[in-house]
Chains A and B, each alone.
Chain A
Amino acid sequence: MPLFILRRILQSFNVLFVMSLLVFAGVYAIGNPLDLLVDPNATADDMARAAASLGLDQPLWVQYGRFLANAMRGDLGNSFIHGVPALGLIVERLPATLELAVVAMLIAVLLGIPLGLWAGLKPDSWTGRAIMAGSILGFSLPTFWVGLMLIMVFAVQLGWLPASGRGSTADVLGVSISLLTADGWRHLLLPAANLALFKLSLIIRLTRSGTREALLQDYVKFARAKGLSNARVVGVHVLKNILIPIVTVVGLEFGSLIAFSVVTESIFAWPGMGKLLLDSITQLDRPVVVAYLLLVVTLYVLINLVVDLLYAALDPRVRLAGARA
């Protein structure tokens, strides 16, 4: 097991390296940040000085080499725009995004699995059909539209919940968290629901199809023949088998919630990382974009690692091979 984890971490360095190369070259190809940074009326001398101070006067491979050398020491460079370390800029906004993603995922899982089980057990009942119809809506309605509708109904018409911002937060070890205040929760609810809707639909459909498949298996019939209660057959025999694919999808979807909640964060003016990424791309703030994507890759690697460990815990047939890949 420790060998497996170690291997995984070493592998992830390869991914990080390739990723940084691609993003670095990609952003370089999009345009010259100097055009945006420096006053258009500046003299050629000023331009050259600015370029030199940011290291942009060097050829690409030199710039990348410097970046790499610094990155080895944990320094991903300063933001061109803000002049502060790019990583710090991102990490500062991480808690806001993270708590949004966690709450959204919890909503999706805690509602999605029971609803999916129900729809799978009673596919012909009207409740089962209603759940499936709802999940199709959740699947196909665009996030931005749902977000706007949520604001319109719950913030504008009913006035129950605030439409934007993060509300008051409480500090824990220097990290501000809105989950600890009632006002924070009120602010969190709408964006979290907005983000959860798609994932919820996904989990419902996944759980339903898994349940329907499992119900046809001999082990379910055998469990029934043993005289087990329905609750035990469904809650243990079926659920434990269908959790395996669900865990995988939940892991990947959680990663995408953290990394790419850009639309929802923009609509609800949630001060998370998504907004930062968007701004950085339009301003060609390369260090921030590179650092952001490297962070995202790291998150994905970590999530996948956790998924694999969970997999092994759920499915006794899976053995984590340290020696083989």
Chain B
Amino acid sequence: MNAQRDPTLVVDRLTTRFVGRRGAVTAVDDVSFSVAPGEVLGLVGESGSGKSMTGFSILGLVDPPGEIAAGSIRLKGRELSDLSAREWRALRGDRIAMIFQDPMMTLNPVLRIDTQMIETVRAHRRISSNAARELACDALARVGIPSPDERLRAYPHQLSGGMRQRVAIAIALLNAPDLIIADEPTTALDVTIQAQILFEMQTLCRESGTALIWITHDLAVVAGLADRVCVMYAGRIVEQGSTAQVLETPAHPYTRGLLDSTPAANVQPDEAGRTQPLRQIPGMAPSLNELPAGCAFRPRCTRVSDLCQQVPPEVELAPGHVARCFHPLPAAQGVKS
């Protein structure tokens, strides 16, 4: 792990709010984490937990009426939260790149692949079209696309979903960014393609020292890919630590619940040879505009007490392993698999 090196990205007490007619909704609430060069950080949570919005905040792409209300984002020591629109634009796609969930939707259907790649290079560097095209061709080859020269002339609809996601990844890699934010980029793909792309992304980032934030709801993906994990619930990071710490000795009851509800945790058959039914977290993820005061997980939690009506502080359970909970689970209760 590269935790000792100067971190590529430091997010400190970031808060992103949407101010509407019926009051403000806090989509990202007091979120702090950092990512080191070459490190993969898994950002895990259910839909609406604020994980994608955290990504968009780091990219300066929060659409009005949303805004970064507080906190700081530092990329290689440079403060981003007070950049002008022009400075953000210069940064996006150059130092920080993003990959989206659905490869069918992210590429513009009416523009050829080469157009969409060359424009990405030329938005940031004064370079001829031909030189940019060479770079695009190299990038396609690096993500494992056969005969890249031919693919450059294709339109998105002529490529499969996996191919398109590779193209999107190649676009993200084009300007050798310091940080890539990948927002569930493999969710829409076949499992086999998913595994290939995960492996390739991991290798590419390790080799180039690019920091990677992998946003996902899939703990299995995180287990195989991430060095460290942040678990988000209702806009807050409820637990973070190394992948081993979080997955093997979860401290927050929500993390525990997530782990229990993955199919892999329930496959051991009992004496009669039956597997157990999947366990679920009772209740539903709350809507952000009617969050309970204090710990947002309170209504669904089995360890709840009166104390939980306060916002829990961050508790360091082991070096690097932090949970926001008054009643963290004892380490012994880790998942056995």
User: Does A pair with B?
Assistant: yes
* A218, A222, A229, A240: most-surrounded residue (chain B CB, <10 A): A222
Q: Is A317 an interface residue (CB 8 A)?
A: yes
Q: Is B157 an interface residue (CB 8 A)?
A: yes
B123 touches A217 (CB 8 A): no
Q: Is B229 an interface residue (CB 8 A)?
A: no
In the complex the two chains form, what is the Cα distance from A237 to B155 in whole Å?
Answer: 14
> Could you say which residues of chain B place their CB within 8 Å of the CB of A237?
108, 111
| B100 partner, pick from A221, A228, A315, beta carbons under 8 A | A221
Smallest beta-carbon distance A317→chain B, Å: 5
A232 touches B123 (CB 8 A): yes
Task: Knowing A240-B111, A314-B110, A317-B157, say if A227 contacts B92 (CB, 8 Å).
Answer: yes
Q: Is B93 an interface residue (CB 8 A)?
A: yes
Q: Is A224 an interface residue (CB 8 A)?
A: yes
Q: Is B171 an interface residue (CB 8 A)?
A: yes
A240 touches B120 (CB 8 A): no
> Could you say which residues of chain A place their CB within 8 Å of the CB of B108?
219, 222-223, 237, 240-241
In the complex the two chains form, what is the Cα distance from A221 to B63 in whole Å?
Answer: 10
A225 touches B61 (CB 8 A): yes
Q: Is A226 an interface residue (CB 8 A)?
A: yes
> Could you say which residues of chain B place their CB within 8 Å of the CB of A240?
108, 110-111
Task: Knowing A226-B123, A240-B110, A317-B155, say if A219 contacts B92 (CB, 8 Å).
Answer: no
Q: Is B314 an interface residue (CB 8 A)?
A: no
A228 touches B119 (CB 8 A): yes
Q: Is B295 an interface residue (CB 8 A)?
A: no
> Could you say which residues of chain A place their CB within 8 Å of the CB of B120?
226-228
Q: Main secondary structure on chain A at its contact with chain B?
A: helix
> Could you say which residues of chain B place their CB within 8 Å of the CB of A217?
105
B89 touches A227 (CB 8 A): yes
Smallest beta-carbon distance B91→chain A, Å: 7
A241 touches B110 (CB 8 A): yes
> Could you say which residues of chain A place their CB within 8 Å of the CB of B98?
222, 225
> Could you say which residues of chain A place their CB within 8 Å of the CB of B93?
225-228
Task: Knowing A241-B108, A315-B110, A317-B109, say if A229 contacts B89 (CB, 8 Å).
Answer: yes
Task: Knowing A221-B61, A229-B89, A317-B157, say if A241 contacts B119 (CB, 8 Å).
Answer: no
**Chain A residue nearest to B95 in the complex (CB):** A227
In the complex the two chains form, what is the Cα distance from A217 to B107 in whole Å?
Answer: 10
In the complex the two chains form, what is the Cα distance from A218 to B59 in whole Å?
Answer: 15
In the complex the two chains form, what is the Cα distance from A69 to B18 in whole Å?
Answer: 73
A316 touches B106 (CB 8 A): no
Q: Is A236 an interface residue (CB 8 A)?
A: yes
Mark contacts of A209-246 with chain B using CB atoms, 8 A cut-off: 1 yes-contact digit, 0 otherwise.
00000000111011111111100100011001100100
Mark contacts of B98-116 with chain A using CB atoms, 8 A cut-off: 1 yes-contact digit, 0 otherwise.
1011100111111110000
* B100, B108, B123: most-surrounded residue (chain A CB, <10 A): B108
